[in-house]
Amino acid sequence: MQEVKIRIRRSEPAVSNEVRYQEFTVPVGEGMVVLDAVHYIQNNIDPTLSVRWNCKAARCGSCSAEIDGMPKLMCKTRMDTLGKEITINPIKAYPVVKDLVTDVSHNYEIAKKIPPFTPKEGLKEPWTMMQIDVTRSKEFRTCIECFLCQDVCHVIREHQSNYFGPKHVVKIAALDLHPLDSIDRSELLHHDGGLGYCDITKCCQNVCPEEIRITDNAIIPEKERIVDHAYDPIGLLIKKVKRRKW
């Protein structure tokens, strides 16, 4: 059986400021993924190593990490696609709790700010939708909330509090594409959401394990929607006339 050297960043900020890389030698069998190797270390070498995971099937989005510098799911990254020496870091955009576990709760605070699906007034049940409308937003609904797109985004890394981030733009795009929804979230995304910070580098799109075309299909259309709603002079005039009480 082949052996691979794995370096893992170890730290526990609540206990000490110490940060170190610990090297482990792990036997690699056929079909092994990085999460298997981390479990081997936990079970056979160091049970104090912390990692977050749930499904081992690329569904729960819990096992995000940076493997050789690339944001990836540990349970979806096969060992035979990597070299003989591997480095695993926790995702960098969020504070470390311990070893490979980070505190991603900032995302839950953002999620609370996004108004949920709100059906148009007087809509009679059963609600009906065209298949094309279901299909258009289906891509966004495959998001597993792994936050890898948030991790790779340089705006989040540098100005976390000013930009909701790509994952949340995906959520808003899914709601905005719903033909029965009645809320305009473009102002929220423009101001609190800070979408103007995004310079459409597409890094988020390139790391999404669900292959959601985050920049092309969510971010760019939302930017266009903001321009339409916030800067289009004719649109503004129509809004003013609608708001005016005759």
Note the residues at the interface with ligand SF4 (CB under 6 A): 61, 143-149, 152-153, 155, 166-167, 170, 198-204, 208-210, 212, 214-215, 219
Backbone angles phi and psi of 236, in degrees to 5? -60, -40
64-67 sheet: strands from edge to edge:
19-28, 2-11, 85-89, 64-67, 70-73
Residues 70-89 that bind ligand FES (CB under 6 A): 73, 75
Contact 28, 68 (CB under 8 A): no
% helix / strand / coil in the chain, to the nearest 5?
Answer: 40, 15, 40
Q: How far is the CB of 125 from ligand SF4 (least distance, A)?
A: 31
The single residue among 38, 41, 61, 171 that binds ligand FES, judged by CB under 6 A, is 61
143 binds, among ligand FES, ligand SF4, none (CB under 5 to 8 A by kind): ligand SF4
| Residue 90 within binding range of ligand FES, rule CB under 6 A | no
| Residue 53 within binding range of ligand FES, rule CB under 6 A | yes
Strands (E), the chain: 2-11, 19-28, 64-67, 70-73, 85-89, 96-98, 101-102
| Residue 63 within binding range of ligand FES, rule CB under 6 A | yes
28 binds, among ligand FES, ligand SF4, none (CB under 5 to 8 A by kind): none
Contact 195, 222 (CB under 8 A): yes
DSSP string for 151-183:
HH-HHHHHHGGG---HHHHHHHHHHHT-TTB--
Nearer to ligand SF4, 11 or 205 (CB): 205
d(CA 153, CA 227): 22
The single residue among 55, 129, 227, 237 that binds ligand FES, judged by CB under 6 A, is 55
58 binds, among ligand SF4, ligand FES, none (CB under 5 to 8 A by kind): ligand FES
d(CA 94, CA 150): 9
The single residue among 58, 111, 114, 188 that binds ligand FES, judged by CB under 6 A, is 58
226 binds, among ligand SF4, ligand FES, none (CB under 5 to 8 A by kind): none
Structure tokens at 63: 């096992």
Residue ranges that bind ligand FES, judged by CB under 6 A: 53-56, 58-63, 73, 75
